[in-house]
Amino acid sequence: MAVQSGIYKGVSAAERADARRGRLLDATLSVWADPGTRTTMTAVCGEAGLSERYFYESFTGLDEAQRAVLEAVATEIETTALAAADMAGDDPTQRIRAAVAAFIDLLVADPRKGRVAIIEAGAMPALRSRRTELLRHFAHLAAEQAHDLHRPLRHEDELAGLLFIGGMAELVTAWLDGAVTASPEELVETASRSFLGLDG
């Protein structure tokens, strides 16, 4: 009866499927972020320790799995950065520094996330437009965090946000690739100072 109802060792079929999806998402992140590994369904399934049957249980194809990873990383970046900014209070300088620091800390904890969201997604035609949309979204969020909360958001703030996010993406790309040597603290200080200068 337990097997027929989908319960196995106290875990439902839906919970097992969710767990497999989580393993496949983490495997996709790992394989996709590795420059020395070709991102294929076979490689992802091997990393996850699951068969292709289970891959198709969660995704229609590799592009969908990669899009899901991109969306999950973007959501985590936004949630983490905004929470840090809110904790910093109303001062624009402290808010933007806190948001940038939270973003850099996330990349230090798991560089794979920065690589797939900023570098690898831009190389995929199927995801390039979504990556652009996300960068523009983050530019707007940056403008909101850095402007004086006692006045309306200006057109200049939006322009500064776009310039900042574009530069930040290039800086993080160079840092992750090893072309730029800097400590996380240096990245936070340089990026924050740059944006606050643009916003002024």
Can you give the CATH number for the domain in which 79 is found? 1.10.357.10
Q: Within this chain, do residues 49 and 98 fall inside the same structural domain, yes or no?
A: no
Same domain, 88 and 47: no
Tell me, yes or no, whether 49 and 86 share the same domain.
Answer: no
Q: 35, 59, 83: which is the final residue of a domain?
A: 59
What is the rounded distance in angstroms from the CA atom of residue 20 to the CA atom of residue 178? 33
Best CA proximity match to 119, nearest among 63, 176, 161: 176
Residues 81 and 152 in one domain: yes
Q: Which of 59, 80, 105 is the last residue of a domain?
A: 59
131, 171: one domain: yes
Instruction: For residues 50 and 68, state if they share a domain.
Output: no
Query: Structural domain of residue 5, as residue ranges?
Result: 1-59
The CA distance from 107 to 58, in Å, is 27
Long-range contacts, stretch 151-160, CB < 8 angstroms, 24+ apart: 156/199, 157/199, 160/195, 160/198, 160/199
pLDDT in tens, the chain (200 residues): 344 456 656 678 888 999 999 999 999 999 999 999 999 999 999 999 999 999 999 999 999 999 999 999 999 999 999 999 999 988 888 888 999 999 999 999 999 999 999 999 999 999 999 999 999 999 998 888 766 655 677 888 888 889 999 999 999 999 999 999 999 999 999 998 888 776 55
* CATH number assigned to the domain comprising residue 36: 1.10.10
- Distance (Å, whole) CA 117 – CA 24: 17
pLDDT score for 197: 73
The phi and psi torsions of 150 (rounded to 5 degrees) equal -95, 5
pTM of the model: 0.87
**H-assigned helices in the chain:** 13-33, 41-48, 52-58, 62-87, 92-109, 111-114, 125-146, 155-177, 184-199
Q: Among residues 29, 59, 89, which one ends one of the domains?
A: 59
Q: What is the pLDDT of residue 174?
A: 95
The count of domains in the chain is: 2
For residues 76 and 38, membership in a common domain is answered with: no
At residue 1, the pLDDT reads 35
pLDDT (0 to 100) of residue 148: 64
